[in-house]
Structures are given as C-alpha cells and as structure tokens.
Amino acid sequence: MAGFLGDAYLWVKSLHILAVIAWMAGFLYLPRLFVYHCGAEVGSKQSETFKIMERRLLRAIMNPAMVVAWAAGLSLAAHIEAWGEGWFHVKLTLLIVLTALHMIAGRWRRAFAEDDNRHSERFYRVMNEVPALLMIGIVVMAVVKPF
C-alpha cells in the first residue's frame, strides 16, 4: 500500500480504533462517576473510593488512550493526505473540543480529590452527554465525509 505508512496503514488504523474505543469508554464513564461522587459525603469511604476510581480511570486508561488516538490519527491523516479536506477540518475541530473537555475533566477530578467540587449532579449528567455528541460528529465526518 502506497503512502506515508505503507504496509503499516491497517495496523495503525486498528491501533487508532482501539485507542478511540478506550478513550471514549472512559469518557462516557468518568462524568457518571462524578455524578455518583456528588452524592457521597465528603471524607466518607465511598468518596475516597470514587477518588481512586476517577484517578485510575483518567491516568491509566483515558490519558494514554488519548495520546495513542492522537498519534495514530495524525499518522493516518498524513497517510491519506486529508489536511485540505473540509470534513477533516470539522473532525479536527470537534476533536480539539473533545481534548479540551478531557483536560477540563482532569480539573474536575482534581477538585473532587481536594474535596472542592463546585458543580451539581445535574451539571455532570449534562456533561456526560457531551462526549457522546462530539463522538457522533467525529465519526460522521470520518466515515461519511459529507464535504
């Protein structure tokens, strides 16, 4: 196969898909943990358990998955020379928003770790839907390439 990646293209594409699945699985679970954490009394055993779960999910799964998804995705974009395509610009913009949300979720996690959460259960319920909506847009851009 011609292009930047040569015969490794399908391997990199597989790696990208696996990393995106791991990242999104974490992203769909982390705000749900925040919802439950809101209901836990500060300093309780339950609250401390949520802190551990949130930290491990973010650091051991979501952060590495995001890095691999970005690296493999940029390699794929270079391989297919997508830089000038309209669909790619929209996908990249949505991905940047998703990455910014990832960083913000890290701040929310730190606030919970310091017993300084300032958001409600309802806020996290709404934020739980945002990654899914961004994912839909990203997948449609990548697969359908509407423009």
How distant is the alpha carbon of residue 36 from its chain centre? 20
How confident is the model at residue 5, as a pLDDT?
87
Residues 46-65: tens digit of each pLDDT:
999 999 999 999 999 999 99
Prediction pTM value? 0.93
How confident is the model at residue 1, as a pLDDT?
55
The annotated binding site is made up of 16, 91
131: amino acid identity, one letter: P
Domain ranges of the chain: 6-144
Confirm if 115 and 42 have CB atoms less than 8 A apart. yes
Per-residue pLDDT of the chain (147 residues; tens, 9 = 90+): 567 788 999 999 999 999 999 999 999 999 999 999 999 999 999 999 999 999 999 999 999 999 999 999 999 999 988 889 999 999 999 999 999 999 999 999 999 999 999 999 999 999 999 999 999 999 999 999 999
The annotated binding site for heme is made up of 16, 91
Confirm if 33 and 57 have CB atoms less than 8 A apart. yes
Measuring CA to CA, how many Å separate 91 from each of 115, 128, 129, 143? 36, 20, 18, 10
Compute how many other C-beta atoms are within 10 angstroms of the C-beta atom of residue 62. Answer: 23
